[in-house]
Each structure stands twice: as structure tokens, then as C-alpha cells.
Structure 1
Amino acid sequence: MDIALVGTILFGSLVLFMALGIPVGFTMGGISLILGFVFWDGLPSIDGFVLGSYSKTTQAVLTALPLYIFMAAILMYSDLADDLYEVVYRWFGGVRGGLAAGTTFISAVFAAMVGVVSVSTATLGMVARPSMLKRGYDDKLTLGVIMAGGTLGILIPPSIVMIVFASEAEVSAGALFMGGVIPGIVAATLFMIYAYIVCLLNPEKGPAIPKEERFTWKEKFVSLKSVIIPLAVIIVVLGSIYLGVATPTEAGAVGAVGSLVAAGVRRKLTLPNLKNMFLMTAELLGLIFWILIGAVAYARIVSVTGVGQAFAELITGVDLNRWWILIFMIIFFLIIGMFIDTVAALLITAPFFIPALHAMQFDLVWFGIIFVIACCVGNLSPPFGVSLFIMKGVAEDVSIKTIYSAVWPFVVLLLLSMIIVMIFPQLVTWLPEVMRN
């Protein structure tokens, strides 16, 4: 059968069944089983899919997933956001836009502890938003800052998406973690500068708290004690990876223990909280691994039919500069990310993109960070960005239209971050190189 027709069937059927509402993992797996029977020796193809899925899901790098998800669950149910927000309120509340910029700072701290989007967005939506609205902040700015800050969870390491990308691209998860540090700081800084400038130009969007409500220097420094444990967890996790003392998986185990200690100090290790922590871990892990299993089968059938290799040859054979091809890939991914989960989007496109990127000799660690920034954009982009619906869940009084309109400035800032990383690849490659040396 013509390779173009096979490729059309592979991708077209995937889009069709996802449009019908069938879960992504089951869609990829089901299509692969059917086409494997046709193109790959009938029933024996099932053995190939099973063995491939077993090999993928038992990769050492993926053992880090449950640990970092568990860290996120611990922090979700330990009310750590309350104490961190109190620090921001005391230190930055007296500055126009200070609470908005400070909320981004908290998001960055959360990002360096969790690795997922949902925790920061949900907790700060419940903690920071009511406080900011009470003090006269513009709701669109408030919503945008919280949702944009939440996306940093997959850009500032540790990151669940980076671990999945490392598994698919066969690159070092530790190198990806280190590569994401500076771009994450760049994105967070752009968010804070934007919030400050908006409030400087329009004071009514983010007024400073009245002088009588401001805190003394003593009260400000006392509040910093609540930052000690979170910073210790961050330093232990990232520091151990950077120094080569621990792998990302081992660092995740240490971080999980540190997070449990933080929750214990706050007396949050109650039976209901522990139940919720383990339940959240199991649910997210189950979701990711079902997608991974389906993706393995899909990647196998793409490889066996020759569609992946044909796509790579087609891309590299086009008389275009490789940078234009890279830009078209990113645009394609950004469009897909508007409609489906970013992990699923990665696993769908990886069998096509990664061989082509290899052929064009792009650094896959550098591209991995660009891809993660694209995932951040996808999480924020209407109509189906996950951050939008998380925010709607915790801010039921706001219309989805208002939430959509609140994110666009931050989508632009993320795209600006991506352009900066593309122009200055050293922002990604420098820290991993130092780590290797």
C-alpha cells in the first residue's frame, strides 16, 4: 500500500477518534492493534506491542514519575501556599502590582517542587485570587498571573513532561532539568515585569496596600521562616542532580521525603490528607501510563509501516532551511496543543518529529526545552488548555470567556521566551555542559 495513504490512515483515524471523545491512550492503542494486524503479521503483532509497552514502562527514567507526582500531591494537600503567600503579602504588598508579581514568584517556587501544572494553578487560585481581589486587583490580571505561573510547573525542573520527553528522545532527564532552569527564570521574570508595568501604567489594576496595613521589617523577616523548608527541598533535589550526587529518580525520592517532612511540620499528615495524596498520585500516574502504553503501540506501527522514516526523509528533502522546518514543527505542535493534553501531543508527534530532528542535527536537549515552552503555551491556549479549566473549577464565579481573555498577554510572553531561547541556545545548553564537566 502507498506509504502516503498509510500515513493518512494512521493520523486521520487518530484525529477522528479523538474528535469523537475517545481517550487518547485507548485511541492510539486501538488504532495500532487494528493496523498492526493488517500491516504487521496479524496476531503476532500483539506480542510486539505488549513487549514494547513492557520495555517502555519499565525504563529507569520513568521511575521518577511517581515520585515527583507524589511530591506534587503532598504539597497540594499541605496548604504550603498559605504560608508562601503570606511572605509575598508582607514583602511585596506595599508596591503597585506587588501581589501579582509575588504570585508569579510563588508559582516559580512551587514549580521547582512539583513538576505539574495543576497544583500551583489550583492552590493559588484558591489562596491568592480572593486576597488580591479583596485589595482591588483587576480580576483579569489576577487570573492571568495565576494561570501563567502555574504553567511554570513543567518548565522549571523537576518536570513530568521533561521526564516523558527524555524517555521518548533518549536523552538525559538530568540534562533537561538543568536546561530548563534559566528559561524558566526568564519566563517568570517576564511575567513579573509585565505585571509591574501594567500596574504602574494603570494603578487601579494593582494598587498598593494602604500604609496602615503594611508590616514592619521584623514582621517581614519573621515570615521568611515558612520559606526555609521549601527552599531546602528545592536545593536538595536540584543540587543533588547538578552535583552528580543523585540521578533525577534518586533526587525525586529525597524530595518526596523532604515534602513529607514539610507536611509533617505543618501537621498535615492526617489520614484524609494521606488518602488524597496517594489517590492523586495513582490517578495521574494511571493516566500518564495508559497514554504511554498506547503511544508505544502507535510508535511501533509508525516505524513498521515506514511512515516515520518516510516523514523524516520528506522533511529533510524539502528545499528549505532547517530553521523554517523547525518553526513549522513548533507551529504544528502549538495548534495540536490547543486541543489535547500536552503529554499526549508529545507522544503522538514524537514518532514523526524526533527522527526528523536527528536527521537535521538539532540538539534534542535544546529542542526539548523549546518543546516544553510550547507545552506551557498549550496549557494556556483556548479552547481546551488544561489551566483554563482548572481555573474555572476554582473560580466558579468567573465566565470561561473572561478566563480566555485573561491569558493572551501571557501566551505572548511565553512565545517571546521561546524566541529568546531559540536565538540564544546557550540559555539551555550552558548549565548541562557545566554539569557534565
Structure 2
Amino acid sequence: MEWWLLLSLILVCLLLLIFIGVPIAFSLGALSLTLVLVFLGPDKLMLVSTTAFGQINNFALAAIPLFIFMAEIILHSGVSTDAFDMLSKWTGRLPGGLAVASQLTCTLFASVSGASTATAAAVGRIAVPEMLSRGYEKRLSCGSIAAGGALGALIPPSIYMIIYGTLVEESIGQLFMGGVVPGLMLSGMFITYIIIRCAISPQLAPRVEGITWRERWRSLYKVWAILFLALAMLISIYLGIATPAEIAGVGCFLALVIGFAYRRLTWKAIKGAFLSTCRITCFIGWVLVAASLFGFVLSYLQLPQQLSQWLVEQSASPWLVIVGINIILIFLGCIMDPAGILLVTIPIFVPIIKALGFDPVWFGVMFVVNTEMAQITPPLGLNLYIIKGIAPSNVSLKDILIGAGPFMLLDSVGLALVIIFPQIILWLPSTMM
């Protein structure tokens, strides 16, 4: 069978399994086992266990449960509530001040959460009811939080970057640093859009009145803890003081200290954080095992290598290939969650971009910028449904989708910028010690 026909058949079977509701880990695992039996033979089944063990037996993966647990502790500590309260006092006089405060809170919480859904849920639970009660237009209120929450996938510590770095064997620290500038850039673009739109149409977002300078200054103490935690992690990674896994361990300890210092962290909350961390970590572990086996089988059959060679022989422009990859990712974002997209496509795309001479760190961060849009892209945008669950009953999913539309366009502009100007991603990693 021709390599392109076999690769197409494999991808069609995988998409069919996903469409009929088979979880991504089981889809990848079942298809990989079938390929092993058909093309490698039963005597090669031992490779399944050795490949799985080799993937999981990786110290870098220890960062995943630690960062998840840290985010759960911060969430139960109510720090996100304090951050929104402080920022709303300082930005209330701006056009769309509460929406601006929501974006800043999303950016701040993203720097300690590592996941977009957690960021959207934590900030949305506070900000959406507050904005609606103040007379903010419901589409702007909900759409802005859905988009701002997606920054959790990009701003370090990003779970997706840990997975990518593990699969591709690239520096997770450099990937983290590569996401800082694009994350801040997108956050700044969202805030600028909100201010301009609300300045043109003030009825969308009434300004908050009656806040004194005394109240503003007194509110600053509420964010010192989360700000200290975020900066300490970023500076440690940048200076190479410790590995991401070691920094995640210290972050967990500091998050517990902060939670107990605020006197909001109960033993029941800690138990809930442990259980949630176990569930998410087990899910990620199974998916990683299945994805590593899938990538091993594809590589054994020489399918990614032959696809790379074919593209090089066609003398296609490398940048045209990158545009094509991004179009495929945008399409997949409509029907798959970002973790699934990452694990299905990385074994195919990374050999191609390496053959074309692109930096894997740049590609990894660009990949996350693209899949960030998947969080607010219908019909499977997870953040859209999270905000729908938080918002009052008079807010429809259509309202949230329309509100998120302008932010999708801004995400597209941000994606174009990091493709045209790779140094947006690569500058900070290049200065690391």
C-alpha cells in the first residue's frame, strides 16, 4: 500500500473513532495496537509496554500534577476573587473597566494555573455576575472572559507545553519563556479592543463610580501573594535556577502557605484539590501513553518521514507548509479539544517542520497560540460552555459565541504576527541563562 494512502486511512479511522465518542486515549491506543498487530506482528507487542514505560518514566512529567495541584489550591484559596476586586478598583474609571479588570485577572491567574478551562471558570465565576449586575452588555461580558481564559493555555506554566516538550524532547523552560511575550501581547490586544469599543459605545459598559484613592491603595495587598508566586516561578525558570518540575514543587508549597495564610483553605478543600489533581493527571497520563505509542508506530512505518521527504521534493515554500498546517489546526479546533489535537498531530507535523528547518520551540508555542482559539471556536469550544454554565439563564450560548467573535479575530491576528515575526516567541528564550 502506498504510504500516503495508508496515512490517510489511519487518520480517517482515528477521526471516526473520535466522532463516535470514543475517548481520545482509547482511540489512539486501539488504533495503535491494531497497527502493531497488522504491520509489525504479535511478537512486537512487547514494544507497546516498553514504549509506554519509556514515555511515563520521565522526570519532566512530574511538573504536570504539581502545577495542577498548585492551581487547585490557588482556586480554593479565593485569590482570584481578591485579584479581581483589586483590579476592578484600579480600572473601574476606564471605558469597560470591569472587563479590563477581568482580562488582567485572567492573565494573572493564567500565570499560576496552566490550563485555560480552569482560568475561565475561576475568573468567570466572579467577573460575569459582577459585570452583568453593573449593567454591562452580556455579549461583551461573557465573550471577553471566554477569550481571556484561553490565555491559560499559553502563559506559563502551560500543561500543553509540558506535554509538547516531553513528546518532542525540547526544553520545557524555553517553551515556557516562549509563551510569555505572545501571551502578554494577546492580553494587551484584548484590553485595547475592550477600551476602544467601550469608548465608542459607552452604553456597553457603565463606568464604576465612587471608588476613592484610599480604597485603591488598600486593595493592593490582596494580590501580593499570587503576584509573588507567578514572578518567582517565571524568574526561576528564566535564570535556570531549577527545572520546571522542581519549581512546580516549590510552587505547591507556597500555594499551601498562601491558602493557610488567607485562612480560607480547609482540609475538605485540600482533599478536593487532591482528588481533582488525580483525575486530571490520570487522564493526561493515559493520553500520553497512547500518543507515544501512536507516534512510535507511525515512525516505525516511516509515514511522517515519507511525508516530509515528499514535501521537500515538491519544492513547496516552507512558509506555505506552515500556513497549511495552521489551516488544518484551525479546522481540527472546531471538532477536537486542544489536548487531542496536540497528541494526534505532533507525531506527523514535527518531523515535517524539522525537515524544513524550523525551530521546534517556535513551532510548539505557535501551535499553542493556534489551538488556544479552539477553546472559543464552535461547536466544541470548551470555554464557551464553561461560561454558559456560569452565566444567568437569560444569556444564551449564541450571545457568548457572538461576544467571543471579535476575540477570535484578534487571536487570528496574534497567530499571524507570531508566524511573520518568529522573534516574538524566540527572543526571550534566546536570552535565557
- Shorter-chain-normalised TM-score: which range? over 0.9
1: CA distance between counterparts of 2:257 and 2:266?
13
Alpha-carbon distance, 1:395 to partner:
2.0
What amino acid maps onto 1:143 in structure 2? C
Aligned to 1:425: 422
Q: Does 2:214 align with 1:218? A: yes
Aligned to 1:203: 202
Aligned to 2:117: 118
1: CA distance between counterparts of 2:2 and 2:358?
30
Task: Say which SS state the counterpart of residue 113 (structure 1) adopts.
Answer: helix
Deviations 1:261-319 (A, max 9, x none): 11111222212211210111111111111111111121122112221212212222223
Aligned to 1:20: 20
Aligned to 1:399: 396
CA RMSD of aligned residues (A): 1.2
Q: Does 2:283 align with 1:284? A: no
Give the alignment partner of residue 329 of structure 1, picking from 304, 325, 329.
Answer: 325
The residue correspondences of 1:151-300 to structure 2 (distance < 5 A) are 151-210=150-209, 214-300=210-296
What amino acid maps onto 1:166 in structure 2? G
What amino acid maps onto 1:177 in structure 2? F
Q: Is the 1:366–1:429 Cα contact (8 Å) retained in structure 2?
A: yes
The residue correspondences of 1:28-177 to structure 2 (distance < 5 A) are 28-42=28-42, 44-177=43-176
Q: 1:242 to 1:40 in 2, by over 3 A?
A: same
2: CA distance between counterparts of 1:396 and 1:26?
36
Aligned to 2:4: 4
Task: Say which SS state the counterpart of residue 112 (structure 1) adopts.
Answer: helix
Q: Which segments of 5 or more consecutive residues in structure 1 lack a partner in the other structure?
A: none
1: CA distance between counterparts of 2:306 and 2:286?
27
1: CA distance between counterparts of 2:392 and 2:303?
45
2: CA distance between counterparts of 1:45 and 1:143?
51
Alpha-carbon distance, 1:19 to partner:
0.9
2: CA distance between counterparts of 1:111 and 1:165?
18
2: CA distance between counterparts of 1:421 and 1:352?
22
What amino acid maps onto 1:273 in structure 2? A
Task: Say which SS state the counterpart of residue 157 (structure 2) adopts.
Answer: coil
Alpha-carbon distance, 1:396 to partner:
5.2
Q: Is the 1:133–1:139 Cα contact (8 Å) retained in structure 2?
A: yes
What amino acid maps onto 2:17 in structure 1? F
2: CA distance between counterparts of 1:209 and 1:215?
8
What amino acid maps onto 1:258 in structure 2? L
1: CA distance between counterparts of 2:50 and 2:392?
45
Q: Is the 2:117–2:383 Cα contact (8 Å) retained in structure 1?
A: yes
What amino acid maps onto 2:95 in structure 1? R
1: CA distance between counterparts of 2:39 and 2:421?
44
Q: Is the 2:167–2:292 Cα contact (8 Å) retained in structure 1?
A: no
2: CA distance between counterparts of 1:387 and 1:159?
16
What amino acid maps onto 1:195 in structure 2? I
Aligned to 1:362: 358
TM-score by length of 2: 0.97
Q: Is the 1:72–1:114 Cα contact (8 Å) retained in structure 2?
A: yes
1: CA distance between counterparts of 2:173 and 2:130?
37
Task: Say which SS state the counterpart of residue 435 (structure 1) adopts.
Answer: coil
State how many pairs are aligned: 432
Larger mean Cα displacement after TM superposition, 314-323 or 158-167: 314-323
2: CA distance between counterparts of 1:283 and 1:393?
21
Task: Say which SS state the counterpart of residue 99 (structure 1) adopts.
Answer: helix
Alpha-carbon distance, 1:9 to partner:
2.4
1: CA distance between counterparts of 2:185 and 2:360?
20
Q: Is the 1:116–1:160 Cα contact (8 Å) retained in structure 2?
A: yes
1: CA distance between counterparts of 2:199 and 2:256?
40
2: CA distance between counterparts of 1:314 and 1:261?
55
Q: Does 2:339 align with 1:340? A: no
Alpha-carbon distance, 1:130 to partner:
0.9
TM-score by length of 1: 0.96
Alpha-carbon distance, 1:3 to partner:
2.0
2: CA distance between counterparts of 1:375 and 1:427?
18
Task: Say which SS state the counterpart of residue 156 (structure 2) adopts.
Answer: coil
Task: Say which SS state the counterpart of residue 136 (structure 1) adopts.
Answer: coil
1: CA distance between counterparts of 2:342 and 2:370?
10
Q: Which segments of 5 or more consecutive residues in structure 2 lack a partner in the other structure?
A: none
Q: Does 2:368 align with 1:375? A: no
Q: 1:194 to 1:2 in 2, by over 3 A?
A: same
Q: Is the 1:49–1:300 Cα contact (8 Å) retained in structure 2?
A: no
1: CA distance between counterparts of 2:307 and 2:392?
45
Deviations 1:326-354 (A, max 9, x none): 01001101111221111111110111101
Q: Is the 2:97–2:208 Cα contact (8 Å) retained in structure 1?
A: no
